[in-house]
Structure 1
Amino acid sequence: MTAGPARTANADLRDRFEAAFMPNYGVPPLALARGEGAYLWDADGARYLDLFAGIAVSSLGHGHPALVEAVSRQAATLAHSSNLLVNEPEVLLAERLLGLLRTPGRVFLANSGTEANECAAKLAIKYGRTTGRRYFVAAENGFHGRTLGALALTGKASIRDQFGPFPLDVRFIPYGDADALKQAVTHECAAVFLEPTQGEAGVVPPPPGYMTAAREICDTTGALLVLDEIQSAIGRTGHWFAHQHDGVVPDVLTLAKGLGGGMPIGACVGFGDAGVIFAKGDHGSTFGGNPVSCAAALAVLDTIDHDGLLAHARAAGERLSSGIQALGHPLVSGVRGRGLWLAMVLSAERAADVQAAAQRAGFLVNAVQPDAVRLAPALVITFEQIDSFLAALPAILAEVTP
């Protein structure tokens, strides 16, 4: 009797994952073993060029020396303090963020983007109750997280509907429609929640002038303007923060993902009066301001600054975008986005097929929508690595084109 084919390490880990975890993710296609720079290796030893960086999280790629050193040093010094005591890395990080934002404000540190948005929602609730405002406005197809408060603000029926009713009264309007926004926001609106570019909707930028119009509408009515930059900040678009492209200043800003470079961290920043809405005891987080995560975030900010990665993100993003468009492939109808936060827009709903074909060719991309492939590589990706993807892309597209 002959033995069957040997089980691969990938297959074994995927089977164990399926048996041990709740089924909310399905079974991911790969089991990763290690990373270095812009590359990842799976459990079977195959190498991939990582073109979405853990959903725009790994700003410096994998195993960056500055991040490794900062995390190792801080873990050996002080790994946790709780919110009952102060640690220096959290203070340094809050000061550094406010310096980069160039606007007076106050910071709350959390562990994720969803938690940052929960903080923003609670700020807006308290603001609304003290000023007689009772509802929120957010955008259709926007994404702000999956906890009940954040999900209430998320304009995607496919993930919302089965979990209602929600604790917030939210009115959804089409993204990018300034007239619809103006009609929806009255003096009874507590806050408007928007992304400067919609991420999970497929990296959808606003039309010119939309962010300025949102700021003016909120100024006129007294509603808070909350900008969710969970994906778009920390150099992703070639500026520290995406809203800086439009020259607007929100009342509240939320951050996460790329801030920690792979370590869990989130931040909610309130500017001006919005920074002092909370009183003692109004909000908290046991792990918020964790010194290891804050040390990682400081290393990310220092490296982006020291290594000129904002300019590199702009140049590398232009190389990637123009290279895709220059192919003139019939399956590609265009490219959306800024810097190293792009969507390759398809002329047919074949994004999942493109993702699978790219993986077989040694490239990891993300089918963020049926007709859109998200590309959000580490800010340290090289021109040569981008060119290797562009060289392989025609064959990848040909494999999935009928």
Structure 2
Amino acid sequence: MSSDVMVSAELAGPAPRGSAGVLEAYAHSVMNTFGPPKRVFVRGEGCYVWDADGRRHLDLLAGIAVNALGHAHPTVLAAVTGQISTLGHVSNFFATPAQVALATRLAGLTGDDDAKVFFTNSGTEANEAAFKLTRMTGRTKIISTEGAFHGRSMGALAVTHNPKYRAPFEPLPGEVTFVPYGDAEALAAVVDETVAAVVLEPIQGENGVVVPSAGYLARARELCDAAGALLWIDEVQTGMGRTGSWLVHTAQGVRADVVTLAKGLGNGFPIGACIATGRAATMLQPGSHGSTFGGNPVAAIAGLAVMNVIERDGLLDQVTATGEHLVSVVMGLGHPLVSEVRGRGLLRGIVLNADVGPAVADLALEAGFVINAPRPHVLRIAPPLVVTPAQLDTFVEALPGLLDAASGAAS
């Protein structure tokens, strides 16, 4: 056992050994907001994680599109440990080189030389900052979409569609209108001079990896320009190379007024960002918003390390090729339960002809594969960007048996 692992074990204290003991302690001490955990994971390396009972799993979910470079990536590890051993936190009364360097890199992704960044600790917080920014327009109406997910804080929840998430916390802030996702004409019918912003995911991840028709984002841009409204693009799940480009909307030639990022940016270290361009870049001023931990030097250096590795190792092209391979081999199975594979890059939804997704995900976990079912008929595959075709093939080879077992149990 390495000295680092020994130190971690000592810090954890007298925690119970083995999965059963940890899960019993979890039920006693952790709020029941997620339901019972399916596994207790204790170690990760590359695209694999090991549970407390020593079983290895191929991680095809990456912490829900978070671990972009896999687990324990040496470049990120060196950057984070080097930074925290030098300077861990100073508050936002002061600047640090890592914070400024990352802000400059992220602003540059938008193509606007004057773009500005507000750092947060999560995607929800990034969307909360964006929600507040829309109020600076002097308008309060926001257009969101059916199936949208933007987070669970009060502002982010206000633009999230799922009634199950919303109902217990209503009334929620703002005047939010939901229209069908991907329907440009439905958007055109509601965007007028009373609208502060339109918020869109370029691909709806939590709704089952739903991709809109070509030109949808461009049409939203036109409508916002005509109405004087902000276009707010939520790239929390899709950004940072997940789909084969840094950002989905810029790859389509679309300019957003507000962009939100998180997930893959820190490779597991909590970080998010709200980026504003054009007139939106100067709307928030001293006192408008704040964050104690947002933009701390350790999170910032993690983000820089992730961006450097993606660029250095040519991962954007690799993601595109590996994602196309996944589609090819899954559809090549010719399995009657598989309808299609949608998405881009390494954000993919395997669409099924029956509502057996949760059962398939559970069976996959038993077989050593981590996936999930964001919808009953969709399996989400969002592995580390460094996953290899050969690793994906091991899952695809197992998939027919998993589908047959799940459909047999359901019949």
Q: 1:318 aligns with which of 313, 324, 330?
A: 324
State the TM-score, normalizing by the size of structure 2: 0.94
- Measure, in 2, the Cα distance between the counterparts of 1:303 and 1:143: 29
Q: 2:120 aligns with which of 92, 96, 110?
A: 110
Q: 1:370 aligns with which of 370, 376, 389?
A: 376
Range 57-66 or range 239-248, more displaced: 239-248
- Measure, in 2, the Cα distance between the counterparts of 1:221 and 1:168: 18
Given that residues 8 and 44 in structure 1 are in contact (C-alpha distance below 8 angstroms), is that contact kept between their aligned partners in structure 2?
Answer: no
Q: Give the CA deviation at 1:382.
A: 1.0
Aligned to 1:3: none
Q: Deviations 1:163-185 (Å, cap 9, x if unpaired)?
A: 10011110110001111101111
Q: 1:329 aligns with which of 335, 346, 354?
A: 335
Range 307-316 or range 98-107, more displaced: 98-107
How many corresponding residue pairs? 392
Instruction: Write the letter of the residue equivalent to 1:25.
Output: F
Q: 2:71 aligns with which of 62, 66, 69?
A: 62
- Measure, in 2, the Cα distance between the counterparts of 1:214 and 1:112: 26
Q: 2:279 aligns with which of 273, 276, 291?
A: 273
Q: Give the CA deviation at 1:400.
A: 1.1
Say yes or no: does 1:252 pair with 2:261. no
Aligned to 1:240: 246
Give the gaps of 5 or more residues in structure 1.
Answer: 1-6
Matches within 5 A, 1:22-101: 22-101=31-110
Say yes or no: does 1:18 pair with 2:27. yes
Aligned to 1:149: 155
- Report % sequence identity: 50
Range 241-250 or range 368-377, more displaced: 241-250
Matches within 5 A, 1:299-314: 299-314=305-320
1:315 is paired with a residue of what secondary structure? helix
Q: Give the CA deviation at 1:102.
A: 2.1
Instruction: Write the letter of the residue equivalent to 2:123.
Output: G
Instruction: Write the letter of the residue equivalent to 2:261.
Output: L
Given that residues 332 and 344 in structure 1 are in contact (C-alpha distance below 8 angstroms), is that contact kept between their aligned partners in structure 2?
Answer: yes
- Measure, in 2, the Cα distance between the counterparts of 1:111 and 1:48: 28
- Measure, in 2, the Cα distance between the counterparts of 1:360 and 1:74: 38
- Measure, in 2, the Cα distance between the counterparts of 1:89 and 1:95: 10
Say yes or no: does 1:361 pair with 2:370. no
Instruction: Write the letter of the residue equivalent to 1:70.
Output: A
- Measure, in 1, the Cα distance between the counterparts of 2:286 and 2:299: 24
Instruction: Write the letter of the residue equivalent to 2:132.
Output: K
Range 100-109 or range 266-275, more displaced: 100-109
Q: Deviations 1:187-236 (Å, cap 9, x if unpaired)?
A: 00000011001111011011111111101000111110000000000000
Instruction: Write the letter of the residue equivalent to 1:119.
Output: A
Given that residues 134 and 140 in structure 2 are in contact (C-alpha distance below 8 angstroms), is that contact kept between their aligned partners in structure 1?
Answer: no
Given that residues 10 and 44 in structure 1 are in contact (C-alpha distance below 8 angstroms), is that contact kept between their aligned partners in structure 2?
Answer: yes
- Measure, in 1, the Cα distance between the counterparts of 2:84 and 2:95: 16
- Measure, in 2, the Cα distance between the counterparts of 1:98 and 1:137: 25
Q: Give the CA deviation at 1:8.
A: 7.4
- Measure, in 2, the Cα distance between the counterparts of 1:395 and 1:66: 38
2:93 is paired with a residue of what secondary structure? coil
Q: Deviations 1:264-304 (Å, cap 9, x if unpaired)?
A: 00000000111000121111100011111111110000000
Given that residues 109 and 289 in structure 1 are in contact (C-alpha distance below 8 angstroms), is that contact kept between their aligned partners in structure 2?
Answer: yes
State the TM-score, normalizing by the size of structure 1: 0.96
